A and B are shown apart, each in its own frame.
Chain A
């Protein structure tokens, strides 16, 4: 753990975003995770995405559970709202917060233990309901805080640091999210920021349940030969289906892409995602196709990454429930208590 605070000085030529902030303004406290932790790279990617989108830090709520991953919201967006909830309960707290105030950007940060074990049910229901959020799982396949036991996402047949082979089947959170109806599903790798940063940015701009599974090597307990979540293994088996650029308020595509290689997805808010295809026949609008593609490649030991599925016209939980648009904390008394005449009318309708 580093004992000094990160120096306040920054590069004098650092670029500023539309709000006049540098990317340093989106940082939090210095990380207390192990040196080299993949989670720190995800933190850096979230910082970069928020900086690029010129997000006002006070319009973000970052919510997490318990675990190494759930500590990370302390390390980014130091001027945002934060809630470090009970183990596995991030999705419920986030759902509640979102229902109370739909105006904030919700960033759910969780890990494989938090989301695939103790909070598996919570994860499932928040996705199923279509809560408007960006749900990031920092997935290292191991319980780092308790010194290296397999987690529920560890692949069958992979080896622990002590040499024990995992005999349980792995939960693929991406497959589950697809099946449960998430409207933005992606997988990435902490060691590949050029892919991860635009994915996070696109997910933040997506209206609906966005889910990103980020493979994040645990330096201390899961970065050895025999691990399937090590830097070397992921780099060797990474099968990216596409690369993307997020374009906000600009012309959709620069002309330097070869024709037929770029697919433009326009999201609800008018922002555009330019997808540079790597797998020529991969269609990110085909949920069923994505599921089979994923299963087929998983069987070959490949880790499929990129934007796997997106429904640009998704609806969210508020639309389903027809809730009031105003955040609850700004509703006035006369709206909340419209008087006995209205009550009479409601009663009459139920007779």
Chain B
């Protein structure tokens, strides 16, 4: 193998598994260390810069970081990264002084369709640069699906108010209750750029017999949740069936339990394991006495003269074809009917752009989605950008944020007269953490604690009021314990070939047998000759150039604890522990534009 190029920004970034997996690339280990030090406001600001909604995401994020967390490969469970983010939000001081101060306007105007996470992220990035941002939303308040679809017992209004408030406070103009009905009309208002962050607002229908007749008791999940959210709906029948296996279904069933549903079930087509809902959301639903029944396909709504009485299901089983694709085929058992008073349909969401006229210069593909560049987020109309669910279909808040940052950069470049396809590289800092002979500026003593549970409110109390938050969040002590579980993967092991005398001290001390000195070879061959098995091919091998004896140093990054013992036992300083910090490129001061570098 060729010697590893550690100067490439991606190499060490990949080692920080959580940050690499996060769409917004939040510097997770950095903020967890700050939490351990009690510097909650600093931890919050790192998050705020990167993911814009730390308090909201700390309660609702889909956590792509946690399955990636190295700790999950070392022991059973990853670090509770998401809930530590909430800790930063819960315990911070007043951070208003740290927010960007509105500056003089630059005379350019940007319109936003929809006031959800994608639009607000773009506005957050652009407003401090002097852009006049106008956000239109059909709802009276900002937040989009974060406010309308996520139940209050998971995400209280106060948190949404606070974090949307920080953005609107930057001088962003919010026009609530003002739904954009025509793109043509909006274009006619001569904005310099338009960002569409209107989400995926339409719940998918379930067109089976009885749907029309029993319509009075059949509700589309996201519409119903939003109606509950605004207080228009405050009760439901005693027996409720929720159809669908995603996170919306989980929100529906738990909401139903709080509005009078006593016998609430979730019924899914697939197997329990393959459900789209996050495992912890399924757990929370089951904890609230909601059974989840699987391998049942709804075939008809049963009604008595228009009054819904139940649903009939066909029993299916999973079969896999030669390519490993799953098919649900009838199991041959008799159909099953479940009685119910109300049904909530949460079988998916769709985009809908009836308000974009065909002659706006915005082209759509065969799935009726706008043609959007996945890097710059520009549509076929060079002034119109898309982001979040509106761009590529339903995903999670953190994706909307990540796309928002990229779209903001595009808009800033466009309106600065630059080529939007030129994306500036991120800024990377790497610095030694050595403080003394065997002292580091980070805590390298590895905690063996298991994941700490987040305390929940007593179920009886929690089920009484739909606005009572179920999760209480970590207290300071639990947060400290959980923070210590972080392996500081951003503190990198950096090897200097010229200093190595091949004494083997690092290979001997490494608790995880990561380091091997051997003759070089092709990657597949090398992976078989390491001191310990190397099952994760997606984890890189760090290979040195040739050493004096003709061998090379090979480090499997897979389960490195970043404990620094290799560096402590190295007599020549050939190993050093260096903190890697990457600043993702956002619109604005971190963006080294051509005009800036010329000045």
Which A residues form the contact surface with B (CB < 8 A)?
Answer: 1-14, 24, 30-31, 34-38, 40-41, 43-44, 190-191, 193, 217, 219, 223, 231-232, 235
Contacts and interface: CB of A to CB of B under 8 A. Distances in A.
Given A7-B511, A7-B561, A9-B75, A1 B438 contact: yes
A104 to B, nearest CB: 26
10 contacts: A2-B509, A2-B568, A9-B511, A9-B512, A9-B561, A11-B532, A14-B532, A35-B570, A190-B504, A235-B548
Given A11-B559, A13-B535, 16 more contacts: A2-B509, A2-B565, A2-B569, A4-B444, A4-B563, A5-B445, A6-B511, A7-B511, A10-B511, A13-B532, A14-B513, A31-B569, A35-B570, A37-B571, A41-B504, A191-B504
Interface string B59-88: 000000000000001110000000000000
A231 B505 CA distance: 13
Chain B: interface size category? 35 or more
B448 A8 contact: yes
B515 to A, nearest CB: 11
B572 interface: yes
B501 A40 contact: no
B569 A36 contact: yes
A4 B549 contact: no
B508 A231 contact: no
B521 interface: no
Given A44-B508, A217-B503, A12 B74 contact: yes
- The secondary structure that dominates the B interface is loop
Shortest Cβ-Cβ A-B pairs, 4 listed: A36-B571, A13-B533, A7-B446, A44-B508
A231 B571 CA distance: 13
B533 to A, nearest CB: 4
B502 interface: yes
Contacts of A4: 444-446, 563, 565
B502 A191 contact: yes
Contacts of B514: 11
Contacts of B561: 7, 9
Nearest to B509: A6
Contacts of A24: 511
Given A2-B565, A37-B505, A219-B503, A9 B446 contact: yes
B483 to A, nearest CB: 17
Contacts of A7: 446, 448, 511, 561, 563
A193 B448 CA distance: 31
B501 to A, nearest CB: 5
A288 B507 CA distance: 39
A44 B504 contact: yes
Given A7-B511, A9-B448, A9-B561, A219 B504 contact: no
Given A4-B445, A9-B512, A44-B508, A191 B535 contact: no
Contacts of B533: 11, 13
Contacts of B502: 191, 231
Nearest to B501: A231
B569 A40 contact: yes
B372 to A, nearest CB: 41
B41 to A, nearest CB: 30
Contact of A2 (B438, B446, B507, B571): B438
Interface in B178-215: none
A223 B511 CA distance: 27
A43 B559 CA distance: 24
Nearest to A217: B503
Given A6-B509, A231-B502, A12 B569 contact: no
Contacts of A190: 504
A14 B559 CA distance: 12
Interface in B138-194: none
B444 A11 contact: no
* Of B75, B507, B569, most A-chain CB atoms within 10 Å: B569
Interface in B100-144: none
Nearest to B532: A11
A41 B565 contact: no
B508 A35 contact: no
Nearest to B505: A36
A72 to B, nearest CB: 12
B567 to A, nearest CB: 9
A212 B505 CA distance: 21
Given A12-B74, A34-B571, A217-B503, A6 B565 contact: yes
Nearest to B440: A4
Contacts of B444: 4
Nearest to A43: B508
A191 B507 CA distance: 12
Nearest to A75: B508
B503 A191 contact: yes
B537 to A, nearest CB: 13
